[in-house]
Chain A
Amino acid sequence: MTSILTNLFDGVAYGMLLFVLACGLAVTLGLMNFVNLAHGAFAMTGGYVCMVLVNRMGWPFFAALPLAFVSSAAIGIALERTLYRHLYTRSHLDQVLFTIGLTFMSVAAVDYIQGSSRVFINLPAALQGQFDVFGVGIGRYRLMIIVICGLLTIGLQMVLAKTRFGSRLRAAVDDPRAASGLGINVPQVFAFTFAFGCGLAGLGGALSAEILGLDPYFPLKFMIYFLIVVTVGGSSSITGPFLASLLLGIGDVAGKYYVPKMGPFVIYTMMIVILIWRPNGLFGRTAAR
């Protein structure tokens, strides 16, 4: 019984992490209809920035996390302004080719700068180990992830639903032409959202170094996971991707624990079945956009 609860806890932490990593992609892929396979590269950037700051320069872990966010967001906005925005109207094939190219470049570049082996971030002592609550083992680090990611999710939902920027974004996504007709600066809204999504990915990358492992092949290894979150979750709200990441996280942890031999098999089969059954995702809109 307790092992089930511990697995559930780990799965939730994993799922939350996936959500923070992938929710930027939910906006670019789901809302702006841009196939960005290079999303993992931004996550990796954040992870490596955090690693360098903490391990080499002795920054405290919690001070390095915001910087991971900022650096990824900065790179994101630079690339969006210079390269990505020319490709919004191009075919999916062009977008795929372009972002695969970027991914290859990022993998080789990080390999060149930091070496190809897996890196670890030195965690403060307060985050290590675990404690028991009614016999259920709770990892401190995972608990912190759940808290941070939970707060972020609530914050995002509030921003989208309650603020002026949120309504602008929703309007721009629903109908870019009508939105710009109403005086909303659609490219600016998209650029800002793109950068914010990249920043979140960077933060997720920094947080995930401990759990997912961080090496130059990160963008390729986890690409499929991000895509699953978005396509299964649909794009009508952030609740869909959130639930999808929780499902994926719990499913993956439980799968590895109870049927280790089937491994990733379960996840891929589930993804294909869901995509065939509901092409717009489990929680998506019914009409294709």
Chain B
Amino acid sequence: MTAASDVGYHAQRQARWHYGEVAFWLIVLACGFLFPTRYLIMTDILRLALFTMSLDLILGYAGIVSLGHAAFFGVGAYAAGLLALHGIVNEPVLALIVAGLAAMVLGFATSFLVIRGVDLTRLMVTLGIALLLEALAERFSNITGGTDGLQGIEIQPIFGAFAFDMFGKTGFFYSLAVLFLLFLLARRVVHSPFGLSLRAIKNNALRAAAIGIPVNRRLIAIYTLAAFYAGIAGALFTQTTAIASLDVFAFERSADLMLVLVIGGTGYLYGGLIGAVVFRMLQELFSTITPQYWQFWIGLVLVVIVLVGRQRLHRWVLYVPNLVIKQVAGRKAVVAVPENDA
């Protein structure tokens, strides 16, 4: 077997669907039927999962550190809100795509600023862009409603058939469908040669350039795609909650997002989904213990995660599942998180 076909073989094997993945999605779908009283929080988790997947695309696969990812979330949220409020695009699915495209345009425009410079410059520039947008949204309060946010948004039924109900059932299945479709797309993208080249760039940009990968163009492409995902997540937020206020741009949102991704693990797409579930559960737990000061415990979790070491933590978590697999199936562990974390 030649080296090239060997690489191709492993890449294809990685890209194949595992039983575990199928089971994962079946469980998610089953949750929709098992817990009919919990649609609101579950929708919230799905939204967060989509948003986190967007960050995973740039952080986990391309190694771009961003502290201002809420910028695209916010643009998507306001775009969807304005489209529905003024009746420009009434069909939610269409509005969702338009809002995603709006965020995508912003992502493309700002990607040229972000790909320049090192980590620190990127942190500052992304943070600056999010703050800038927040200031703009506050400034043009005649359009955005200022600190009150957009009010009186009414979302039309999806395809004219499925109306949003007050229990959030439609919202949940709608979000799930969107998340699943976008997950399929992301999965296809990261396992394509394009996705492999992104990993090469993340590991060593100089070497990647030397073997002929157009580094800057690849980074612009993935950043733009991630902006689209974040925009969709923002639009879902507006459509399922019927509000859009200034806090969509808040720094805390970007910071929380990083925490979610770090809990779940970077660079394997499911990190965002698992992280979102764990994060929301932690948040629920902390806010039942101390309603006002849950932020303290979230901060503590972050500090502990970093001090213990993210990779070591993930090894601990996967220790038992891997042991079971080894005993039952008698082969080497298959559940693993990529070791080269950002």
Complex partner residue of A224 from B116, B128, B259, CB under 8 angstroms: B128
Q: For A224, what are the chain B residues with a Cβ–Cβ distance below 8 Å?
A: 127-128, 131
Q: Which of B262, B307, B342 neighbours the largest number of chain A CB atoms within 10 Å of its CB? A: B307
When the two chains form the complex, which single residue of A97, A104, A223, A272 contacts B125, counting CB atoms closer than 8 Å?
Answer: A272
Q: A86–B113 Cα gap in the complex (Å)?
A: 32
A1 adjacent to chain B (CB < 8 Å): no
- From the candidates A105, A272, A288, name the one contacting B128 in the complex (CB within 8 A): A272
Residues of the A chain whose Cβ atoms lie less than 8 Å from the Cβ of B302: 97-98, 100-101, 104
CB-CB < 8 A to A220: which residues of B? 251-252
- Please encode chain A, from 95 to 112, with 1 for each CB lying within 8 Å of some chain B CB and 0 for all others: 011101111111111011
Of A49-57, A182-190, A259-267, the stretch lying at the interface with chain B is A259-267
Question: Is there a chain B Cβ closer than 8 Å to A231's Cβ?
Answer: yes
Q: Give the shortest distance, in Å, between B334 (CB) and chain A (any CB).
A: 27
Q: Indicate if the CB atoms of A112 and B293 lie closer than 8 Å.
A: yes
Given A94-B306, A264-B131, A111 and B118 touching (CB < 8 A)? no
Q: List 20 A-B contacts (CB under 8 A).
A: A92-B65, A93-B342, A97-B259, A97-B306, A98-B303, A98-B306, A98-B307, A104-B255, A104-B295, A105-B295, A111-B292, A112-B293, A112-B296, A228-B124, A231-B120, A263-B139, A264-B135, A272-B125, A276-B116, A276-B117
Report if A257 contacts B (CB, 8 A): no
B residues less than 8 Å from A243 (CB atoms): none
Q: Indicate which residue in A105, A106, A263, A272 contacts B113 across the interface (CB closer than 8 Å).
A: A272
Q: Does B136 contact A (CB under 8 A)?
A: yes
B40-77 CB mask vs A (1 if < 8 Å, else 0) is 00000000000000000001000001010000000000
For A223, the closest partner residue in chain B by CB is B251
B325 at the binding interface (Cβ < 8 Å): no
Cα(A103)–Cα(B258), bound, Å: 14
Instruction: Report yes or no: B129 in contact with A272, Cβ–Cβ below 8 A.
Output: yes
Q: Is B303's CB under 8 angstroms from A101's CB?
A: yes
Task: Considering the complex, give the chain A residue whose CB is closest to the CB of B306.
Answer: A98
Asked whether, in the complex, the Cβ of B123 is within 8 Å of the Cβ of A111, the reply is: no
Q: Check A101/B301 contact, CB under 8 A, given A86-B307, A275-B121.
A: yes
Kindly provide the distance from the CB of B222 to the nearest chain A CB, expressed in whole angstroms.
17
Instruction: Give the total of A residues in contact with B, Cβ under 8 Å.
Output: 44
Task: Determine if A262 and B121 form an interchain contact, defined as CB atoms under 8 angstroms apart.
Answer: no
The 9 closest A-B pairs by CB, nearest first: A101-B302, A104-B299, A108-B296, A105-B299, A101-B303, A98-B306, A92-B119, A101-B299, A268-B132
Q: Mark A246-289, 1 if CB is under 8 A from B, else 0.
A: 00000000000000011111001101100110010000000010
- A123 sits at the interface (CB 8 A): no
The reply on B196 being an interface residue by CB < 8 A is no
A91 interfacial contact with B, CB 8 Å: yes
Report how far A209 CA is from B121 CA in the complex, Å. 30
Chain B hits for A106, CB < 8 A: 299
Q: What residues of chain B lie closer than 8 Å to A227, measured between beta carbons?
A: 124, 127
Max chain B Cβ within 10 angstroms of own Cβ: one of A105, A227, A279, A288:
A105
Give complex CA distance A101, B298 in Å: 7
Chain B contact residues, majority secondary structure = helix
Give bound CA distance, A143 to B234, whole Å: 47
User: In the complex, A261 Cα to B127 Cα: how many Å?
Assistant: 21
Candidates A96, A228, A263, A271; contact of B258 at CB < 8 Å: A96
CA distance A106 to B113 in the complex (A): 32
Check A265 against B136 for contact (C-beta < 8 Å): yes
Q: Are B296 and A104 in contact (CB under 8 A)?
A: yes
B307 — which chain A residues lie within 8 A by C-beta?
83, 86, 98
Contact across chains for A275 and B135 when beta carbons are under 8 A apart? no
Flag if A91 contacts B342 (CB, 8 Å): yes
B120: chain A residues at CB < 8 Å are 29, 35, 92, 231
Interface residues of A in 73-122 (CB under 8 A from B): 83, 86-87, 90-94, 96-98, 100-109, 111-112
- Known contacts being A87-B306, A97-B306, A101-B299, is A35 close to B123, with CB within 8 Å? yes
Known: A108-B293, A263-B139, A268-B131. 7 other contacts (CB 8 A): A96-B123, A105-B300, A111-B293, A112-B293, A228-B124, A275-B128, A276-B113
Residue B89 interfacial (CB < 8 Å): no
B8 to chain A, nearest CB (A): 31
Of B121, B136, B296, the contact of A231 (CB 8 Å cutoff) = B121
In the complex formed, the residue of A with least CB distance to B255 is A100
Q: Is the CB of B128 within 8 A of A104?
A: no
In this complex, what residue of B is CB-closest to A90? B306
Q: Is B282 an interface residue (CB 8 A)?
A: no
CA distance A105 to B117 in the complex (A): 31
Task: Tell me the minimal C-beta distance from A284 to chain B in angstroms.
Answer: 11
**A-facing residues in B98-121 (Cβ within 8 Å):** 113, 116-121
CB distance from B21 to the nearest CB of A (A): 26
- Closest chain-A Cβ to B300's Cβ sits at a distance in Å of 6
